[in-house]
């Protein structure tokens, strides 16, 4: 289903629709009540559509939702609106019958009571409707990733050149700046190999701490690393520009080994054009230790600014993984 077609209205927006239509409704009480019922049900039909989408959503997207919204809050919101839709139908049927069985004077009182009971159902869902409205806007802004197609996830500490690498080898255009945590969200580019397109995912930077201690921005990267069946390229910055020393950069890999499970992991020693020979050798030695432990499959030296360098790395990874 096309998420862009799903529009969730807030309680206030539903009330505005009712006000706009109510004054133009047929003067009969039955017609006015039907106007209210039709508007609240048509205005919340999209919640049912959203519920269907969420049921079929990949675990990666659910992880992102949990980070931003809390899954239990989303499920509570869906239950509230679903209940309101179910009960409003019952109230509509009940009060339509009572109006038909009432005198002219009584029918106006019955209308007020029925109108109040229907609207109170949705008023109780006010904060839930707002949450779902924000959720669908959030989902519409997420990048489209096909979990069944080949994926390369570019990870590493902040400011090691992940976004530069993604720009160099794919259609992705992540923001680049010379300060940490420039990348705050997941972005995706593609590299065409003819028989398939490689999805190249840029992730926010990770710091040297346990997964449990990571902030919201880092947890978005962990969602991609943990939930997507992809190849991992972990970039290291051995230059003097790095915000973390080499030991701490490699310790990040050890911190997330369980998250990565058995995904193929490649290490890229980036910024070799500006790093000293000694620091490059230190990084290579650390990488070789991980390779000897079976954690890393291969090691590359590169400058992500050099498109040929970056392309050679990704092409070799694709070849080794036999994509």
pLDDT in tens, 214-269: 999 999 999 999 999 999 999 999 999 898 999 999 999 999 999 999 899 999 99
Q: Are residues 222 and 291 in the same domain?
A: yes
**For position 35, what pLDDT does the model report?**
92
* Residue 70 covered by a domain: yes
Kindly report the average pLDDT of the chain as a whole number.
93
Are 86 and 157 contained in the same domain? no
The structure's pTM equals 0.88
Q: Domain check: are 212 and 64 in the same one?
A: no
Q: Do both 55 and 30 map to the same domain?
A: yes
Do 25 and 44 sit in the same domain of this protein? yes
pLDDT digits (tens, 9 = 90+) for 282-297: 999 999 999 999 999 9
Would you mind telling me the total number of residues written for the chain in this entry? 323
Task: Collapse the DSSP code of 102 into the 3-class scheme (helix H, G, I; strand E, B; otherwise coil) and give the result.
Answer: coil
Range of 104's domain? Answer: 3-141
Please state the rounded mean pLDDT for residues 34-46: 95
Total domain count, the chain: 2
**Residue 59 CB neighbour total at 10 angstroms:** 12
Share of the chain above pLDDT 90, in %: 85
CATH code of the domain in which 254 resides = 3.40.50.300
DSSP-derived letter for residue 187 is: E
Same structural domain, 59 and 167:
no
Chosen domain end from 141, 162, 186? 141
Q: Distance between CA atoms of 202 and 91, rounded to whole angstroms?
A: 51
User: What Å distances lie between residue 290 and 139, 265, 287, 316, CA to CA?
Assistant: 37, 10, 5, 19
């Amino acid at each position: 289903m096309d998420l862009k077609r799903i529009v969730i209205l807030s309680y206030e927006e539903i009330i505005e629709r009712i006000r706009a239509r109510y004054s133009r409704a047929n003067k009969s009480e039955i017609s006015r009540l039907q106007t209210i019922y039709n508007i609240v049900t048509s205005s919340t039909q999209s919640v049912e559509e959203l519920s269907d989408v969420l049921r079929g959503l990949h675990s990666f997207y659910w992880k992102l939702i949990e980070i931003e919204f809390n899954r239990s809050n989303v499920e509570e919101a869906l239950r509230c609106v679903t209940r309101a839709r179910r009960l409003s139908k019952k109230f509509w049927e009940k009060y339509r019958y009572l109006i038909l069985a009432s005198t002219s004077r009584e029918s106006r009182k019955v209308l007020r009571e029925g109108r109040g009971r229907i609207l109170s159902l949705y008023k109780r869902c006010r904060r839930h409707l707002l949450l779902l409205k924000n959720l669908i806007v959030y989902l519409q802004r997420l990048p489209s990733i096909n979990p069944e197609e080949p994926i390369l996830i570019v990870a590493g500490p902040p400011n090691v050149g992940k976004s530069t690498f993604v720009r160099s080898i794919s259609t992705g255009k992540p923001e680049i700046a010379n300060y940490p945590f420039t990348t705050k969200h997941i972005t995706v580019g593609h590299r065409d190999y003819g028989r398939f397109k490689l999805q190249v995912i840029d992730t926010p930077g990770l710091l040297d701490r346990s997964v449990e201690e990571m902030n919201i921005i880092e947890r978005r990267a962990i969602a991609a690393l943990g939930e997507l069946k992809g190849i991992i390229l972990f970039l290291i910055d051995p230059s003097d520009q790095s915000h973390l020393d080499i030991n701490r950069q490699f310790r990040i890999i050890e911190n997330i080994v369980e998250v990565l499970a058995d995904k193929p992991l490649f290490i890229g020693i980036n910024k070799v054009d500006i790093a000293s020979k000694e620091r490059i050798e230190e990084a290579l030695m650390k990488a070789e230790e991980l390779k000897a432990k079976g954690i890393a499959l291969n090691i590359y030296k590169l400058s992500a600014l050099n498109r040929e360098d970056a392309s050679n790395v990704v092409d070799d990874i694709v070849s080794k993984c036999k994509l």
